Chains A and B, each alone.
Chain A
């Protein structure tokens, strides 16, 4: 790897790291996981640097790597293991809890990774359907259906909210 190439990489990362971290934080809703995601993304960007450099939009390339890494990581056994153990420790709840329904953040966090990524691309990155589809590696129709499913899920969870204008309150998951 030539020094100039390393220099380019270092310069790019220094400039774009905050942006990547913000996107990762929105995707993960957890700073620790976001840091891991960005770290993995930066490693991949290094190994694919010639493609990043030659890309028409390097930022779009980097964003694609990060989003796909996020989806891949959420499919991994470890993520599922954590999820499964969480389910195991929480006894089933039969009664409807309106507090749960009110929690937008919890509802979005509970979405499958691909649906959450779709919402992030559409409503945080403000990308259109076609641009989102390119990043997710799927068809525009899939983006539309994933968006609709995600919104429907969140709407259902929030449906009984009696306190309009309420602001969501995050859990402390990132602090332990």
Chain B
């Protein structure tokens, strides 16, 4: 019965052990109290701005830098892992994959780099590789767990695995996974850790599981770090933007001989909103999703949204609130051969999404041959 399978799924999700939480009841109470003050002020006519300043919300998503622990282990030998990655350099590439598998997508931020490989772009049955900058992950005493940042993964180590290029390695079970030996962790460089999650192991009959594990070790052994990769190219460039803007994180997909930046987030001296899905977000700065358009590309209307024509392109501009902060979104389904999304979160964006599209975004068309390696023009 499918119902029983769903019950089992939900029970598993609910029962997964959590090492950390970002829920803060005291913050909720403060924010709730501020909201009540706001409501009362609205009723009595008190100037709202004075009240609004009392409301502060720190939304942190994903990997926020945690307190670095020195456990005295896992420092290893050989070259050190990068202290930071350059988001404009993919850094990783697969040297070997099982037949039928290829790179599906990847991403780089300052703290981690990752790649997915599989047979089809939308398959959940993927090889999922992530590596972390120096000092991000720490092995607990007794090599029972690998923790990567205060809000990052906590990986349960199950047993030793064959060494990867002479570096010690272990089979793992992440804390939200049910299948034993679902991943492999190893030191890819001194003070740097890599984690390869195997395709869904439960799908394999026992006689194939060992072969999948052998594939995992072989994949790990052939991963190239810091070697030249296909160039990362951007379908649009930012122009006339503040000099301190930089790309904080990029998601890419392979497209022929290039890696196409499909989403990228910007940073530049503003509070971090944390990371999610591989992108690092900053308050008031844009995150851009972009790629070749198709006849099916559309921009749905949602919330308080307006259709506008900017620079001859039909766009939808939306205003909303999410996570306690105002949000602006701009969507252009057909913009010079591209589909584009721009999103900003925060009350005072450096440049609003409409202005960004109008004055600061140079679209390079749908032909990858014309795309740029530098996202700033």
Once the chains bind, are B25 and A76 in contact (CB under 8 Å)?
no
Once the chains bind, are A174 and B178 in contact (CB under 8 Å)?
no
Q: Which of the 9-residue segments B66-74, B159-167, B315-323, B366-374 touches chain A? A: B315-323
Cβ of B128 within 8 Å of any chain A Cβ, yes or no, is yes
Do A93 and B121 form a contact, CB below 8 Å, given A163-B203, A176-B112? yes
Once the chains bind, are B14 and A25 in contact (CB under 8 Å)?
yes
Chain A hits for B25, CB < 8 A: 10, 13-14, 17, 42
Once the chains bind, are A93 and B35 in contact (CB under 8 Å)?
no
| Number of residues on chain B facing chain A (CB within 8 A) | 88
Q: Told that A22-B15, A106-B124 touch, could you supply 18 new A-B pairs with CB distance under 8 A?
A: A39-B24, A40-B324, A42-B23, A46-B35, A76-B322, A77-B327, A78-B327, A78-B343, A88-B341, A89-B251, A89-B263, A97-B123, A123-B3, A124-B10, A151-B6, A167-B179, A169-B200, A176-B130
B residues with CB within 8 A of A: 2-3, 5-16, 18, 21-25, 27-29, 31-33, 35-36, 39, 59, 61-63, 105, 107, 112, 114, 119-125, 128, 130, 151-153, 174, 176-179, 182, 197, 199-203, 205, 251, 253, 262-263, 275-278, 289, 291, 300, 302-303, 305, 318, 320, 322-324, 327, 329, 331, 339, 341, 343, 345
Once the chains bind, are B339 and A166 in contact (CB under 8 Å)?
no
- Min distance, Cβ A72 to any Cβ of chain B, angstroms: 10
**Chain A to chain B contacts (Cβ below 8 Å), 21 pairs:** A9-B29, A17-B23, A31-B176, A40-B323, A46-B29, A47-B36, A75-B302, A81-B329, A82-B277, A88-B341, A89-B105, A97-B122, A97-B125, A99-B119, A124-B7, A158-B5, A167-B178, A167-B202, A171-B128, A172-B130, A175-B174
Within 8 A of B (CB), among A137-176: 151, 154-155, 158, 163, 166-176
Cβ of A26 within 8 Å of any chain B Cβ, yes or no, is yes
Closest 9 CB pairs of A and B: A46-B32, A42-B28, A85-B289, A99-B125, A169-B200, A124-B10, A175-B153, A89-B262, A22-B14
- Min distance, Cβ B326 to any Cβ of chain A, angstroms: 11
Once the chains bind, are B203 and A99 in contact (CB under 8 Å)?
yes
Once the chains bind, are A169 and B182 in contact (CB under 8 Å)?
yes
Contact pick for B179, options A81, A89, A91, A169, CB 8 Å: A169
Kindly report which residue of chain B lies nearest to residue A80, judged by CB atoms.
Answer: B302
Once the chains bind, are A81 and B33 in contact (CB under 8 Å)?
no
Q: Mark A20-48, 1 if CB is under 8 A from B, else 0.
A: 01110110010110011011101111110
Do A155 and B2 form a contact, CB below 8 Å, given A17-B23, A32-B61, A38-B23? yes
Cβ of A105 within 8 Å of any chain B Cβ, yes or no, is yes
- Min distance, Cβ A132 to any Cβ of chain B, angstroms: 14
Once the chains bind, are B178 and A169 in contact (CB under 8 Å)?
yes
Do A10 and B29 form a contact, CB below 8 Å, given A104-B5, A104-B6, A151-B3? yes
Chain A hits for B122, CB < 8 A: 90, 93, 97, 100
Chain A hits for B276, CB < 8 A: 32, 176
Within 8 A of B (CB), among A65-93: 73, 75-78, 80-82, 84-85, 88-91, 93
**Cα of A120 to Cα of B6 in the assembled complex, Å:** 9
- Min distance, Cβ B12 to any Cβ of chain A, angstroms: 8
**Chain A binding site: helix, strand, loop or mixed by DSSP?**
helix
Do A176 and B176 form a contact, CB below 8 Å, given A39-B23, A84-B289? no
Once the chains bind, are A172 and B263 in contact (CB under 8 Å)?
no
Chain A hits for B329, CB < 8 A: 77-78, 81
Chain A hits for B24, CB < 8 A: 39
- Min distance, Cβ A83 to any Cβ of chain B, angstroms: 10
A residues with CB within 8 A of B: 1, 6, 9-10, 13-14, 17, 21-23, 25-26, 29, 31-32, 35-36, 38-40, 42-47, 49, 73, 75-78, 80-82, 84-85, 88-91, 93, 95, 97, 99-100, 102-106, 108, 119-120, 123-124, 151, 154-155, 158, 163, 166-176
- Min distance, Cβ A119 to any Cβ of chain B, angstroms: 6
Chain B hits for A167, CB < 8 A: 8, 178-179, 202
- Min distance, Cβ A69 to any Cβ of chain B, angstroms: 12
Do A169 and B202 form a contact, CB below 8 Å, given A10-B29, A25-B14, A176-B277? yes
